[in-house]
Every structure is written in C-alpha cells, then in structure tokens.
Chains A and B, each alone.
Chain A
C-alpha cells in the first residue's frame, strides 16, 4: 500500500524550460511535505518543504504547490539547469518523526 506515489519514473526537459514533478498521497493525516534531490552514489539532500496550512512555498528556482483536496503536490523548477539532473523524491509526514517517501522521479535536463 503505497501512501506516497510518484507515477512518473522519469522526465526529460530542455535546459531553460520548466520542470514539473508530481506526487500524490493517500493519507489525509499527512501534514508536512518535503522534496529531496539525489545524485548517484550520494545520499538524498533536502530541497524544499511545505506545511499543509500553505498551498505554495518558493525558494529561488524551486516552488512547491500543495493541493490538499486532490492530495497532490508538485515541484516546479524554473529555469531548469543541467545540474538539476538527479532523482527527486517527495516525502510526507503525519506529525510523528517519520517520513514516507515516494518511489522517485529521474529528471534529465537536456542542453
């Protein structure tokens, strides 16, 4: 039973364009959401987060949108750069210390 789902295993975007990564969740008790970025042979690194009391959070080129009624969040990267090529994981928390992760989406930025 996958509580957090990233239905696109991979995404390819041209440099300079917008990258949109999507994530769906099923547990309505989740109240905090995070995105992590992972390069090969490294551990994931925190990118951006959003609390369920907000619907948008921005940090430079990265914006996360939360649609609670649809149980859907998305990460927008604009403009996309070659260094953004990585695997992106969304994660959710229900007030405890634990995170539940999605399967990940491999983003490739093409020159």
Chain B
C-alpha cells in the first residue's frame, strides 16, 4: 500500500517549457488535490477533484491545468512555466463525500523554473 505517489521528485525547467506532474493514490479515495507550498505562505490549493470526472479551481489556479484521468490518477500541467511557479508541489487525496476528511499527502515535487 504505497498511499499517494508523485513523480518526478525534482525538476528544473526553463521559462516557457511545459511539464506534467503525475499523482496516483491506491486508497480508493474519491477526492484528490494539488497544492503548492511557498515559504511563509503555507499550502495553497491549486485545483481539486471532488470525484472522478470533476475538477474545480482552488485558490491559485492561474497557469495550471489538471486532468482526473481515472479514480486513481490526478495530473497537474504547467503549459508555459514561469519563475513564479518555482515551488514545492504536493498532491493529496481523501475519502470525500462530506465535510473535509483528513487528506493524505504525497512526498512532493520540488520544481525550479529558471
């Protein structure tokens, strides 16, 4: 039981390049989330998927797109990376279906955009 896995662990991009961050969970959870963590800002929600087939914007969605590929997988795409997107990205999942249940986080992807 791996929980929430994320790939890659580290990535360096040049401004304007694109990439997709992958996330998968094996807990049969309904809801999945993408956050970014910046110093002094805590965790900010980028996008979330309350259930398979649905996605919604969070607090900081600009510059990102997401795909809920199936119940297990939720990817985050940067179409044209900018230095402001340098951050640590966390994927999370939860059972869903009511008030916010505890969320289980992956180990994170450290992204640097030069």
Contacts and interface: CB of A to CB of B under 8 A. Distances in A.
B41 A98 contact: no
Contact of B42 (A95, A97, A102): A102
B104 interface: yes
Contact of A104 (B42, B45, B94): B42
B107 A41 contact: yes
Question: What is the size category of the interface that chain A forms with chain B?
Answer: 20 to 34
Interface of A: 4, 6, 9, 31-32, 34, 36, 41-46, 49, 51, 89, 91, 93, 95-104
A58 B75 CA distance: 36
Interface string B76-95: 00000000000000101010
Contacts of B4: 43
B96 to A, nearest CB: 6
Interface residues of B, number: 27
Given A41-B107, A43-B106, A44-B105, A99 B42 contact: no
B103 A99 contact: yes
B94 A97 contact: yes
A96 B107 contact: no
A89 B31 CA distance: 21
A98 B100 contact: yes
Contacts of B50: 97
Contacts of B105: 36, 43-45
A96 B108 CA distance: 24
Contacts of B102: 34, 46, 49
B48 interface: yes
Contacts of A98: 33, 45, 48, 58, 100
Which 6 pairs, one residue from A and one from B, show the smallest C-beta to C-beta distance? A43-B105, A93-B100, A46-B102, A101-B43, A103-B42, A101-B42
B72 interface: no
A88 to B, nearest CB: 11
B44 interface: yes
